[in-house]
Amino acid sequence: MSLRHALLGLLSDHPASGYDLMRRFETSLSNVWPATQSQVYGELGKLAKGGFLEVAAEGPRGRKEYAITEEGLAELHRWLTETQPERMRRSEAMLRVFFLDQLTPLEAFTYLSTEAERAAGRHEALEGLNKSVEWDDEPLSVNGRLALEYGLRFTAMYEEWARWAAAQIEARSGQRLASSETGGAPDREPAPQVLLDSQIVGEQSPDL
């Protein structure tokens, strides 16, 4: 039930329409808590009915600008302080590790090396972002910096782990498996330079 809290969180900053919120989900929250258009509109309706939000203004194309109510702020605060984050379990990447013995050592090695490459690419993108951002003292900037740092640490950890794991497989196989290019991605996405809001966090990935 975190979508509602994500919406309350975004609206605690300032009022916005469903359309505005959708864009903020795309730019800021996509990798932390993605949401689709239908979901956003649906949940906004429920939140308004429940008294957590109210339609503060109506605009041009049937635009409804939602504002958080006292009740909504209270609920957001309660969620942040009185409930524990549900830690997420499902990781397809780790599920695969579990069945790696179904592959030849080379195939397993390739999988892990590719994972390492992907993590490295992600890490690089984050570093680019980190440099390109002018960090101010606004709250979003502060939170964004925390999340970005998490992303950097996560991707670094994951790459190292995957390289270590690949080496384990290689050692056990008794063969040299590392080829010149192990299936790594030669062309890597360039680090995005523009960012609205705190895209930063959008660029961070909890699983990778």
Partner DNA sequence: CGTTTCATGTAATTGGTTACATGATTCT
Partner DNA sequence: AGAATCATGTAACCAATTACATGAAACG
Give the binding range for a copy of itself (CB under 8 A) out of 39-47, 49-57, 92-100, 126-134.
92-100
* 2 Cβ contact partners less than 8 Å away, ≥ 6 residues apart: 33, 86
Residue 113 found at the interface with a copy of itself (CB under 8 A) = no
Give the residue carrying structure tokens 């994972």: 115
Q: Which is nearer to DNA, 19 or 161 (CB)?
A: 19
Which pairing describes strands 53-58 and 64-68: parallel, antiparallel, or unpaired? antiparallel
Q: Which is nearer to DNA, 27 or 114 (CB)?
A: 27
153 binds, among DNA, a copy of itself, none (CB under 5 to 8 A by kind): a copy of itself
CA distance 105 to 126: 32
Shortest distance (Å) from residue 41 CB to DNA: 5
H helices of 25-138, where?
37-49, 70-82, 92-98, 105-132
How is residue 182 written in tokens? 């192990």
What are the residues binding DNA (CB under 7 A)? 1-3, 17-20, 22, 34-39, 41-42, 44-45, 59-64, 90
Considering only residues 136-165, where is the footprint of a copy of itself by CB under 8 A? 139-140, 142-147, 149-150, 153-154, 157, 160-161, 164-165
